[in-house]
Amino acid sequence: MQHGPLRNAYLDALGIDRWVRRDGPAETAIEALAETPAVIEAAPPAKPTAEAVPVPARVREPLGPITDWGVLRERVASCTACDLCKTRTQTVFGVGNTLADWLIIGEAPGGEEDRQGEPFVGRAGQLLNAMLLAIGLPRETVFIANILKCRPPGNRDPKPEEVSNCLPFLSAQIALLKPKIILAVGRIAAQNLLATDAPLARLRGKLHHFGEANTPLVITYHPAYLLRTPADKRKAWDDLKFARATYQRLVTN
């Protein structure tokens, strides 16, 4: 876990108050929160309910076994399964460490991602980087992907048929990566991974599982939403601490 001025800068970016001991040096937010009953009450339950969730029914057809990242990347790059291929600049496969324990899943590329071919490179991406670093995860240590590999025009919500065409790519990425934990950011990612229409407020704060490997899945707000609604950054921070605690439990058991 990272300490000192750099992490404090990221906690500031996330809008998380740092606490100062009256009798000592500045505390990290994490340690201060652990000592603060009022905040602990607001945090997700220490023993979250585990909900086994089936593989989403919306997946149209399996891709077949793909055992190679290069082959999968090529399949994504040449995909013409839906009309988004007509308006994209390029596909946005995903980025990061292919040995990562953490998979971060967003919604779909925006304009900047479509131009650069990399997920979360705009303003929301900067906040996502800050959120990850606040729990000790530099961007390059995780893998980041989206539900859709192509940008919906005007950044509209993905259509169900676009999701069903594209989800097999994400499932193949998960099969190759074998993450220990998935962090889904935003309603669209959460609802499609869990095949539910439940609002995000009902999905966060508990442990879900995804797919055939039953990978632990934690839900939080989308960084673009948090940029518009900074008051909810405190709840996002609770989610991040919950995800980190879940991961630590997994790797120590």
**What does the alpha-carbon distance between residue 125 and residue 131 come to, in Å, rounded to a whole number?**
10
Nearer to ligand URA, 120 or 169 (CB): 120
Find tokens 């309910």 and name the residue: 49
Nearer to ligand URA, 110 or 168 (CB): 110
Kindly state whether residue 94 participates in binding ligand URA, applying the rule CB under 6 A: no
> Interface mask (CB under 6 A) for ligand URA, residues 114-133, using x and -?
-----xx---x---------
Kindly state whether residue 205 participates in binding ligand URA, applying the rule CB under 6 A: no
Contacts of 41 (CB under 8 A, 6+ apart): none
Task: Name the minimum Å distance from CB 1 to ligand URA.
Answer: 26
Kindly state whether residue 207 participates in binding ligand URA, applying the rule CB under 6 A: no
Nearer to ligand URA, 108 or 132 (CB): 108
Crossing angle between the packed helical segments 69-77 and 160-177, to the nearest 10 degrees:
160
Contacts of 159 (CB under 8 A, 6+ apart): 152
Nearer to ligand URA, 107 or 162 (CB): 107
Q: What DSSP state is assigned to residue 73? A: H
First CA to last CA across the chain, in angstroms? Answer: 19
- Between the CA atoms of 142, 146, 147 and 152, what dihedral angle is there, to the nearest 10 degrees? 180
Task: Name the minimum Å distance from CB 222 to ligand URA.
Answer: 6
Q: Which residues bind ligand URA (CB under 6 A)?
A: 106-110, 113, 119-120, 124, 146, 224
